[in-house]
Structure 1
């Protein structure tokens, strides 16, 4: 099974993971690393390494981060490069992505397929609701 690691600024990882747990139950092989205000990048590096170590028995690690290019994203990339297991890092994570991949990895073991699925789900989850006024075109006098 491919492991999941969620990271982000502030309490992003634990916050979004509480929603995952509420909606789908807590997934197995799932780690969270928050980048707290009191943390340095060295602290974040240490925590990401520890989380990846706990997932080292997985068939790879898929990292979900909040912002592409932010410290959690960049640090996860740097930490992942030197590891023996394959590590893929995604930025711009939303709840739908994590839930979809948490459930799909039980029957999809191909990392590339999961990455593509996560990106597509993430894009599909962003929608804009537009309320339009319905105008009644019926003749007031009847048919």
Structure 2
């Protein structure tokens, strides 16, 4: 079964994990997070990520990071360079709560690493909604404007 690792600046990854737990119940043990507090020694941070990646072995690991180009991503890209030939891994940047919830749920279905990445990307995109646009679209289907009702 694939693993899921949440990485972010500060406590955001822990907050995503805790929120997923609040919504869905405790995630399976293959879901984990590593926080990056201010002033963290980057070698220690990288070692923690490497240990989690190495434990994924042949099943693979999907790593969600908060920002493309941020420290969690940069360290993860180093880990990728070191382990990608021995441990199947994928990295998705721009983590949001929709993405986390859907990937945690998908892990329970024992999906492949490639499919898990697709689910994360799709859920992340679908989780971003322009409410005004959505409202306008709904009322146009019914005829009229949202402000006429």
TM-score (norm 1): 0.84
Shift of 1:106: 2.5
2: distance between equivalents of 1:2 and 1:48? 15
User: Which residue pairs with 2:35 in the alignment?
Assistant: 34
User: Which residue pairs with 1:56 in the alignment?
Assistant: 56
User: Which residue pairs with 1:134 in the alignment?
Assistant: 147
- Unaligned runs of 5+ residues in structure 1 are 137-143
Number of aligned residue pairs: give it.
Answer: 135
- Partner SS state of residue 89, structure 1: strand
- Partner SS state of residue 93, structure 1: coil
- Partner SS state of residue 90, structure 1: strand
- Unaligned runs of 5+ residues in structure 2 are 136-144
2: distance between equivalents of 1:35 and 1:58? 27
User: Which residue pairs with 1:93 in the alignment?
Assistant: 95
Question: Going by fraction, where is helix more abundant, 1 or 2?
Answer: 2
- Partner SS state of residue 8, structure 2: strand
User: Which residue pairs with 1:71 in the alignment?
Assistant: 71
TM-score (norm 2): 0.81
The two structures, once aligned, show a CA RMSD in angstroms of 1.9
Bigger Cα Rg: 1
Shift of 1:38: 2.0
